[in-house]
Amino acid sequence: MGPDEEWEEQAGARPWPLPPLARGTRPRVLLAEDQPEMRALMRGALRRRGYDVVEATDGPGLVQAIIDGLLASQTQVPDLIVTDVRMPGYSGLEVVARLRREGWTTPVILITAFGDAQLHQEAELLGAARVLDKPFAMEDLCDAVGALVPTGH
């Protein structure tokens, strides 16, 4: 089952584009990374910068986090998605492609250890806001996130 079928099966007939965001004052970042150490570093850096971070460990977890946000009693969609390209289940590129087909304009930062010219071109065509090639400094990640979704702090 790919991201298309999983969305349809679990989310049902939710209207697209998404309803208005219901959340606190902290911008929400959905972070998908299958390497626990890397995910912990990114989570810590983003939280210190004032972001609410929701985590996913793989492609299906990323889709599930989006679905859970849509189905919450008060819709909670991310202000920004940061996702690894290569993860178990489906890739960050597959999820971004589905989001764009559904009319989502949520900014997406892709991270990858395999950032060749073809991947960068595909990410640009899908509307990814940025691609960060691993290894990168946490400061670079935070600056990229801050440029797309400022915290106001």
Is 21 a residue whose pLDDT tops 70? no
Is 17 a residue whose pLDDT tops 70? no
In the chain, what are the domains?
26-55+65-146 (3.40.50.2300)
Strand order in the sheet with 52-56: 52-56, 28-32, 80-84, 108-112, 130-133
CB neighbours of 94 closer than 8 A, spacing ≥ 6? 2, 3, 59
Q: 87-117: per-residue pLDDT in tens?
A: 999 899 999 998 898 888 999 999 999 889 9
Q: 45-61: per-residue pLDDT in tens?
A: 999 999 999 999 999 99
Taking the C-alpha atoms of residue 11 and residue 67, their distance in angstroms, rounded to an integer, is 6
Taking the C-alpha atoms of residue 46 and residue 102, their distance in angstroms, rounded to an integer, is 27
